[in-house]
Every structure is written in C-alpha cells, then in structure tokens.
Chain A
Amino acid sequence: MKKALVLLLLLPLPVVVGPAAADTLANVVGRARLDVQPVGGRPFKTITIENALGDIVVEGYDGTAIIIETKKTAPDDEALDRLRISLVPNGDGTVKLTTTADHNKESKRLRRGAVRIDLKVRAPRDARIEATAGSGTLTLSNMDAGGDLDTASGPIKVHNVSGELSTHSVSGATSLATVFGSIDSQTLQSDLDLDSISGEKLVAAANHGRIAGRRVRSREITLTTTDGKITLEAEATLRGRVIVSSIKGDLDVRLRRRGTVGVTVRARGSKVDFGVPAPAPVAGWTETHLGNTQASGAAFVEMRSRYGNVQFMIVD
C-alpha cells in the first residue's frame, strides 16, 4: 500500500532551560505534541515506532486517535535542528513513527550521548505495537493486541498487555508483568523477569542471563538459558506442559497444584532434588508421579541442566 501522506516533521519548539534540566549535558529542549486521527475513519491497526535515540513509552487508552508527545534534548539549537521525527500514516491502518539525526558536511560532530529524543505515545488499545529502540527504555502498557518489541541495550518493560507478544533484546533487561496471551521473549545477554503471566503459551530464552518467573499460569511453558539460573513459580494447569532447560544454569521450579491435577515430573542434572524421596534415576532421568497421572489432563514437567543442579517442589 502506498503511503498516503507524509504528515510532518514535528517542529521543535526550542526552550532554553537552566542547569536543572534532566540531561546535564544538554541545555536545549524541544517539545511537541500531535494528535493523529485515523485516515479515512479507519481505525489504526498497527503502529510502528523506531527510535534509536531515546525512550519509547506506549500507553493504551480508550480512544481512536494517536497522541504523540516528543521531547528532543540537545546541547544547542543547531544540534536540536538535526533531530528529526517523521510520521507516516497509511490508508491501511498502519502508522510509522521514526526518528533520525540528520548530518551534512557543515554539521559539527555530535556525540550520540549528547542528544536524545524521547517519545510518549498514547494509542488505541486494540492497535498492535511494533517498536524498536536502541539503548533507551521501551515501555508498553495497557494494550490489548500485543506487540513486537525490540531493543539493543535498552530495557523492555511490559505491563498489563494481552495478545500475541514478542520481545527481543540484545542486552536490555526484560520485564513482563500481568501479561495474558502467547508470549515469546528472548534476550542474549540480559535477565528476563516474568510476573503474573497467563495464556496459551510462554516461550522465554536468555543466552547469558537468568530467567525468573512468578505467578505463571500459561498452559505451555518453555524456559531456556545457556548459562543463567532459572527460577519458576508456576501453577499446574490441565494438560499443561512445563519444559525448563539450561546448559550450565541451576533450575528451581515450584509448582502450585490446584485440585487433583496429576503431575509427572522428570529431571536430570548434576544434582536432582525433588524435596521428597524419589526413585533412582533411569538412563539419567529421575521421574516421579504426583497425584493421578493416568487420568486425562495430567500435567507434565521436564527439567534438565547439563551442568547445573535441578530442584523441584510442589506447593499445595
């Protein structure tokens, strides 16, 4: 679909501020605000935001317009003029918001840390968010259509979101709280915190980092690390599957059992501890059955760490 409109380069309204400015390196701040109405009355379906120069905050609300607040910070007016924000709404219900730092031969060299653009977007709840940040914080809250979030070293914070959610970060700590839906979360060199997660599927992986999950009620849970510890406090669901694995990390799973759901647990690791006497390992696997696992609906837990210790406990 062709772009319907290149709407604007949000014009900065430079304001000289004193030493009390948030960024002590900068002394010029430009702020702007824009309300974007749906093109042709069609509701926004997807909002794409790319900002490698600062934070992105997206909050859902019960309206139809997109409300954008921008804050540019730079050491002087010339540098401030180099910071650009463009917004391209398309007729198909997608909107793209991007930031850049212009450069020409006359421009004096500007360090990356000397400038920033922070974006705060209020979006219709049922729009899907696809956002990419660099070292800034990416925050998503109160949305109902999930999102696809990506940062380099910036943290990702998600709160009160439902739908299909995908997050990826190279080295930014990722925190998901009160999320319902199908979740795929991956980090390479940072930690992953999961709190109050429910829905059909939770897939989370950290390469060099730990995973900590609390109050997790997803039906299928797959947590993987290369060398980080995994701690999980989850609830056994009917026909639920919990797969927790690592190469070098220790595993600690506490399963809350509701009603009479039977649970089969199998584990292997340097040291396996079920908290109760368990049968001798067979082919490296220690397996135990809790409750009636022959009945339909029994849950299954598999834990394995090649070089780490494995601990499992039922919490009734």
Chain B
Amino acid sequence: MTCERVRAQLTGYLDGELDGDAGTVVRGHLRTCEACRATASDEAVLRDGLRSLPPVAPPNSLWAGVQARLAAEEVAESKRPAWRRALARWQRFVPAPRVAITGALVAAAAVAVVYWETRPVEEVAREQIAWYRQVVVPPQQFAPEAPLLKNQPAPSSCATVADASIDVSEALALDGQRAEAAYDCAIQDLLTEAANVRGDWSATQRSAFDDKVKAMREVIAKADGKPKQRATRAMVTYLQGAVTRDQVLLAGVP
C-alpha cells in the first residue's frame, strides 16, 4: 500500500472504523513508514486535544449555513444522471470541486468550533472587565481638559448588582456601595452633558467649572459615610445647575 492511500485512510483508522484486514494493512504500513507514523501521530494528538476541550454549542447560524450547503449538495446529487453518480462513486479518492467546497465548509466549521472552545479564559475575562469598567463602574477621574464632544450621547443608566444569591447580611453591606455607584453614574451622565454644553460657556466659566469639579471630587474622595453622601449630592446639584442653567459660578457649593 502506498503512503498516499494509507494517509487517506488514517482518519478512519484512528476512529477504529476500518475493518479487520484494512486496519491490519494500515497498521503494518505505519510500523515500517516513519513519515506516515509521524502524520498519524500528529493527527492523533490533534484529535485527542479536541476531545479534551469542554463541549460548547456552536452558534446556530454556523451550523445552519453548513446544513444548507449540504442539503443543496444532496438535492443537486439527486438530480444528477445515474451514470454521473456511478462515476462519482469511483472518484471517491479524487476530490471533486463540490466535495472539496463542502469539505472546506465543514473544516471551517470545525476550526470555528475549535476557536470557540479554545478561546482563552483571560480574553473573555478582559472583555467582561472592560465592559464592566465602561458601563457599570465609571472612571473615577474626570479630566477637565477632555475634548469637547458635541451631542455626545449620555451613558446609559448604571447596572445594578443583584443580590438574590447572597446572604441578607452581605446584601445589606453592599447597599452603600450601590447607592454610591448610582450617584457616580449620575455624575458621569451630567459631566457628559456638561461636555456637550460647555462650548456655550466663556473661558472663565469653563475654567471655574473645571476647578469646581476638581475640588468637589477631592472633597468626595476624602470624605466617608454621611459627609461623603452629602458631598456627592451637592455635586449632582451643582452639575444640574451648570448644565441646565449655566450656573457655573454658583457660590456656596462646597
């Protein structure tokens, strides 16, 4: 048996699908052919690796596409004349273009599944953390020199952490953080609005606003408990006055 014929049957051999004689022939060739043995070894390692991955359902659209192509192949096959179907059976080792396309699709699906399965946990975690930082926990520092973004959409409302699965004592301990996060979110919304309207302010107003925001940030950062809540509310009040009434130079706000 030639190396080419053996390699064509390697998949079936490794899957244990070859009948006794055919399997013996392949096994005998592998004992004597170092190149084919190496190919078989590589394929075995790949297959073992794939089997060890946790099962993940591929996206429906992926399989739907493959199945649609396979169905189209079956329909086309059924419409072919009998003599062409017979000829095709003899050409099983000569890859016809349509078969090659179908095979390529299946291979692509397999690659996609492998990618799905082998996607590093760190990568997924990084994406989730980035989203969390962007949406749930707004940046803690406001940059007064941030570029003016006209009509920049305000961030969506902050997500809240559900506490259905934790003990009531732990849930109570999180209450303060939740309220704080909600106020932080409101402040970020208002700062975004301020970025939209500050183009209408004078340079003096813009400078005063930035100084005030910075000072209030510092007060909030240093405070704790009730004083921190009061400072945070005062900042919300100040920002609302600034964006709705241009009351940037508001006196009496800490």
**Complex interface: chain A residues within 8 A of B244 (CB):** 224-226, 245-247, 304-306
Residue B243 CB within 8 A of the other chain: yes
B29 at the interface (CB under 8 A from A): no
Give the residue of B168, B178, B190, B229 whose beta carbon is less than 8 angstroms from that of A226: B190
Q: Is the CB of A111 within 8 A of B178?
A: no
Q: Which of A112, A150, A152, A188 meets B186, CB within 8 Å?
A: A188
Contact with A along B164-176 (1 / 0, CB 8 A): 1011111110010
Instruction: Count chain B CB atoms within 10 A of each CB in A111, A112, A304 and give the residue with the most.
Output: A112
A57 at the interface (CB under 8 A from B): no
List the B side residues contacting A208 at CB < 8 Å.
157
- A53-B172, A112-B172 are known contacts; what are 17 more A-B pairs with Cβ within 8 Å? A100-B169, A101-B167, A110-B167, A115-B168, A150-B229, A152-B175, A152-B178, A152-B179, A170-B178, A170-B179, A170-B182, A186-B233, A186-B236, A188-B186, A205-B237, A247-B193, A304-B245
Interface members, chain B 161-209 (any A CB < 8 Å): 163-164, 166-172, 175, 178-179, 182-183, 186, 189-190, 193, 197
Please give, as numbers and ranges, the residues of chain A lying within 8 Å of B197 by CB-CB distance.
306
CA distance A113 to B157 in the complex (A): 24
Contact B240 A224 (CB under 8 A): yes
Chain A window 265-298, contacts with chain B (Cβ cutoff 8 Å), 1 for yes, 0 for no: 0000000000000000000000000000000000
Task: Kindly list chain A residues whose C-beta atoms are within 8 Å of the C-beta of B183.
Answer: 170, 188
A interface residues (Cβ-Cβ under 8 A, vs B): 52-53, 82, 100-103, 107, 109-115, 134, 150, 152, 168, 170-171, 186, 188-189, 205, 207-208, 224-226, 243, 245-247, 304-306
Query: Within the assembled complex, what's the spacing in Å between the Cα atoms of A211 and B240?
Result: 14
Determine the chain B residues whose CB is within 8 A of the CB of A306 once the complex forms: 197, 244
B241 within 8 A of A: yes
Q: Are B167 and A205 in contact (CB under 8 A)?
A: no
| Contacts known (A207-B189, A245-B244); A188 close to B182, Cβ less than 8 A | yes
Closest to B244 in A: A245
Name the residue of chain A whose CB is nearest to the CB of B243.
A247
Q: A170-B179, A188-B186, A208-B157 are in contact. Are A111 and B240 (CB under 8 A)?
A: no
Given A107, A152, A305, which contacts B167 in the complex, CB threshold below 8 Å?
A107
Q: Can you list 18 contacts pairing A with B, beta carbon distance less than 8 Å?
A: A53-B172, A100-B169, A107-B167, A109-B167, A112-B164, A112-B172, A168-B229, A170-B183, A186-B236, A188-B183, A189-B157, A205-B236, A226-B190, A226-B193, A226-B240, A226-B244, A305-B244, A306-B197
- Assembled-state Cα–Cα distance A26/B176 (Å): 26
Give the distance in Å from the alpha carbon of A102 to the alpha carbon of B164 in the complex. 17
The smallest C-beta distance from B87 to any residue of chain A, in angstroms, reads 70
Residues of A contacting B241 in the complex (Cβ-Cβ under 8 angstroms):
224
Q: Are A243 and B193 in contact (CB under 8 A)?
A: no
Selected from B168, B237, B245, the residue in CB contact (under 8 A) with A112 is B168
A115 partner residues in chain B, CB cutoff 8 A: 168
Expressed in whole angstroms, the Cα–Cα distance for A285 and B236 within the complex equals: 26
Residues of chain B contacted by A114 (CB below 8 angstroms): 168
Q: How far is the CA of A101 from the CA of B237 in the complex (A)?
A: 34
Return the contact of B169 from the options A102, A150, A304 (Cβ within 8 A): A102
Distance in Å from the Cβ of A115 to the closest Cβ of chain B?
6
Question: A188's closest neighbor in chain B, by CB?
Answer: B186
Complex CA gap A73/B244 in Å reads 45
Question: Considering only CB atoms, which chain B residue lies closest to A249 in the complex?
Answer: B244
A291–B222 CA distance with the chains assembled, in angstroms: 51
Q: Please name all residues of chain B whose beta carbon is closer than 8 Å to the beta carbon of A113 when the two chains form the complex.
A: 164
Closest residue of B by beta carbon distance from A74: B168
A169 to B182, CA, bound (A): 10
Q: How far is the CA of A152 from the CA of B197 in the complex (A)?
A: 30
Query: Within 8 Å CB of B193, what residues of A?
Result: 226, 247
Within 8 Å by CB of A101, from B164, B168, B186, B240, lies B168
B175 and A134 form a contact (CB under 8 A):
yes
Q: How far is the CA of A211 from the CA of B84 in the complex (A)?
A: 79
Interface centre among A150, A224, A226, A305 (most CB of B within 10 A): A226
In the bound complex, what is the Cα–Cα distance between A101 and B201 (angstroms)?
51
